């Protein structure tokens, strides 16, 4: 079996998990591309991406171009990256949650090195949820199944043909955090299967994406975090779980902002003719805080006050002396 030399492009935790599996495989990661260091956290301290941190630990050379457009504002950075890649002995480029669209010049370079060219690990069953936030959007939309695709990259946003894919059910209490970890592990495993097949010189077939069923997973906007208690409770529950671990669903109690991290739809436990006032606290018990929505009841399970750590909803209720009949807004 031929050992493949890999350039890996990725930025957040999803990519760092896959990079970790790659470096433990029989293949060799000879270079890493990731986004530039950026301010993060409460103090907005400039920090390297998780992929860069992992690469530096492993002493793998890192490239951090602001852009890959040769004729753009950061054209010099792009040119320098192009020169570095052309001089680097690699077979395949693997991309996972990198954050930059690969232009034609880099796709052509990848194709010139290996039949696989540049391949992408994407956390959805394409063509559903192309784009930046496929895990968030799948949960928020109420999808029952998602999965991972290994895709040969083409010009455009997640438009290339599929090399391999595998389904994964979405559980009723899944958050973006829990589903993210399972999908990253799944993606790494499927990717390594593809690379091993290529290393054994197997012919790897690709399947063009269906034209029907294309949806786009747009990046989560800050204004989407606010809970609207007048919406159906299934949407509230899915919104809360989709926005965990970031940015967190937001509501207010006594005019103070709190974040809700975990919930469950318990409408089936309440009579359908119950007189529900959206946002009203209906019940407090050892399980959590039951709150009315437009058409049912959602139980809040984990909450965070400003300046505090996450806590169970029961602990939160005691800390603020919450009473039945009060309203979240």
Last residue of a domain, one of 217, 241, 269: 217
Q: Per-residue pLDDT tens for 258-289?
A: 999 999 999 988 887 678 899 999 999 999 99
Residues 145 and 274 both lie in one domain: no
pTM recorded for the entire structure? 0.94
Q: Per-residue pLDDT tens for 196-253?
A: 999 988 889 999 999 899 999 999 999 999 999 999 999 999 999 999 999 999 999 9
Residues 252 and 203 both lie in one domain: no
CA dihedral 88→91→96→100, nearest 10 degrees, is 50
Which tokens sit at 325?
């009949």
* Averaged pLDDT, 156-163: 95
In angstroms, what CA-CA distances link 169 with 17, 147, 260, 302, 322?
20, 8, 24, 23, 36
Residues 198 and 287 both lie in one domain: no
Which tokens sit at 234?
């299934």
Give the domain range for residue 313. 223-319
Q: pLDDT at position 322, please?
A: 96
CB-based contact 165:147 (threshold 8 Å): yes
Residues 197 and 229 both lie in one domain: no
Residues 38 and 183 both lie in one domain: yes
- Looking at the chain, the whole-number percentage of residues with pLDDT higher than 70 is 99
Residues 213 and 274 both lie in one domain: no
- Cβ partners under 8 Å of residue 244, min gap 6: 175, 176, 177, 261, 262
Number of domains in the chain: 2
Burial of 67 (0-12, 13-18, 19+ CB in 10 A): middle
> Which has the higher per-residue pLDDT, 306 or 4?
4
Q: pLDDT at position 41, please?
A: 73
Confidence of residue 151 (pLDDT cuts 50, 70, 90): very high
Residues 106 and 203 both lie in one domain: yes
Angle 70-75-76 from CA coordinates, rounded to 5°: 125
| DSSP per residue, 129-141 | TEES-HHHHHHHT
């Amino acid at each position: 079996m031929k050992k493949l030399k890999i350039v890996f492009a990725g930025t957040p935790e999803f990519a760092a998990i896959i990079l970790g599996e790659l470096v433990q495989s029989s293949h060799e990661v000879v270079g890493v591309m990731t986004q530039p260091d950026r301010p993060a956290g409460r103090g907005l301290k400039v920090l390297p991406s998780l992929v860069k941190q992992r690469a530096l630990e492993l002493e793998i050379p890192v490239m951090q171009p602001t852009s890959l457009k040769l004729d753009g504002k950061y054209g010099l950075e792009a040119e320098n990256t192009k020169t570095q890649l052309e001089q680097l002995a690699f077979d395949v480029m693997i991309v996972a949650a990198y954050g930059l669209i690969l232009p034609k010049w880099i796709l052509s370079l990848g194709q010139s090195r290996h039949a696989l060219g540049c391949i992408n690990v994407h956390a959805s069953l394409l063509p559903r949820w192309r784009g930046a936030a496929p895990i968030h959007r799948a949960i928020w939309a109420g999808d029952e199944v998602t999965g991972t695709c290994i895709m040969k990259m083409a010009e455009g946003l997640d438009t290339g043909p599929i090399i391999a894919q595998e389904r994964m059910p979405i559980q009723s209490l899944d958050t973006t955090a829990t589903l993210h970890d399972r999908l990253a592990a799944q993606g790494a495993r499927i990717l390594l299967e593809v690379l091993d097949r290529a290393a054994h010189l197997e012919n790897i077939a690709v399947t063009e994406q269906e034209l029907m069923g294309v949806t786009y997973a747009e990046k989560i906007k800050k204004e989407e975090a606010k809970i609207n208690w007048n919406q159906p409770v299934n949407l509230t529950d899915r919104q809360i779980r989709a926005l965990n671990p970031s940015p967190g669903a937001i509501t207010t109690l006594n005019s103070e902002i709190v974040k809700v991290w975990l919930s469950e739809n318990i409408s089936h436990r309440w009579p359908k003719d119950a007189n529900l006032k959206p946002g009203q606290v209906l019940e407090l018990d050892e399980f959590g805080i039951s709150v009315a929505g437009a058409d049912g009841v959602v139980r809040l399970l984990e909450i965070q006050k400003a300046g505090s750590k996450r806590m169970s909803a029961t602990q939160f209720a005691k800390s603020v002396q919450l009473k039945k009949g009060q309203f979240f807004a």
